[in-house]
Amino acid sequence: MADVVRRPGGARDTGEPGEPARRWYRRPGNWVAVVVFGFFFVNLAGIIGVPLADSLGTRWFTSWLPDGWTTKWYGSAWREFSLGQVFWTTALVAVLVVAVSVVIGVTSAYALARRGFPGKKAVMLLFLLPILVPPLTYGIPLATVLYKFHLAGTLTGVVLANLVPSVPFVVLTMTPFIEQIDPRIEAAARMCGARTRSVMLRVLAPLLVPGILAASVLVLVRTVGMFELTFLTAGPESQTLVVALYYAVFSAGIRTQQSIDAMAVMYTGSMLVLLVIALRFVNLTQLVTRVREETPRQPGDG
């Protein structure tokens, strides 16, 4: 492991001149990290391992591992919970939420990134609140309103409810991204006679693509994993996977434990694929972008 303080020359030796080199295990901080890390992993492996083993086992009572191995539970879970339809709903909801939130979010983020105007702080707060307030708090009044307008229980209702945290999420991730695109590029395009339409399509859009991809992948992961809002607004025909899973567990009894576990493993598997894709596009450590001091804008700038 590299030393904490980077050497000016970038050398990877860990000893400071004059101080004897300390091996990594001589530092107490490392021990704490290794213990936290190890404890976390052992338990995580256990938590994933139990449903995984159960979903692949024939019978499992008090032994360490199931008596035999089978894959039949996956097939029976697929039929029993009509997972084909559930997966289709989940994909439809997720794609609709991503598309709408990107369209609304990116345009708003552009305005917020390029203009300083009176009341900007209030607008930023409006975009921050749905992310800070946990879904269940505003979900209950939101679901009540959606029931009033007969939208709850339909696919539209589920999409609308899921958009509430997604739009601000896109705005907040895209605003710093757009800020770093030099406004002079747009100005130059206009100087060369480009109309608004071609500035948008041929100058801005290609520059925005990486940011839009990152934001959409994160919104996708969030929407597929969003339990509370979907739970409060979904009807029997508009359940996403995570809600169907909850109902399968909560109304257990006639269901076999193994098929529920098989369903849970399928859910985690699909989420894992999405996460690995997301990590390819997004540097997660840069999610927190520091609010920089506003640079005074020149009138007529941008």
Helices 205-225 and 155-179, interaxial angle, to 10°? 140
Task: Report the residue number, 47 or 188, with the smaller CB distance to other proteins.
Answer: 47
The nearer residue to other proteins, 215 or 274, going by C-beta atoms, is 274
Identify which of residues 53 and 213 has a Cβ nearer to other proteins in the complex: 53
Closest approach, Cβ 209 to other proteins, in A, equals: 18
Q: Measured between alpha carbons, how far is 70 from 54 in angstroms, rounded to an integer?
A: 10
Closest separation in Å from C-beta 126 to other proteins: 6
Q: CA distances (Å), 88 to each of 25, 163, 238, 262, in order? A: 51, 19, 10, 18
Q: What is the closest distance, in whole angstroms, from the C-beta atom of residue 286 to other proteins in the complex? A: 6
**Spatial separation of the C-alpha atoms in residues 30 and 38, rounded to whole Å:** 12
Q: Residue 89: helix, strand or coil by DSSP?
A: helix
Token digits of residue 78: 């697929």
C-alpha separations of 301 from 140, 169, 230, 247 in Å: 44, 27, 44, 55
CB of 95 to other proteins, least distance (A): 18
Least distance in Å: CB of 13 to other proteins?
A: 14
CB of 23 to other proteins, least distance (A): 14
Q: Cα separations (Å) of 174 from 125, 185, 198?
A: 16, 18, 21
CA distance 146 to 263: 29
252, 260 Cβ separation under 8 angstroms: yes
Measure Cα distances from 3 to 8, 33, 135 in Å: 12, 15, 41
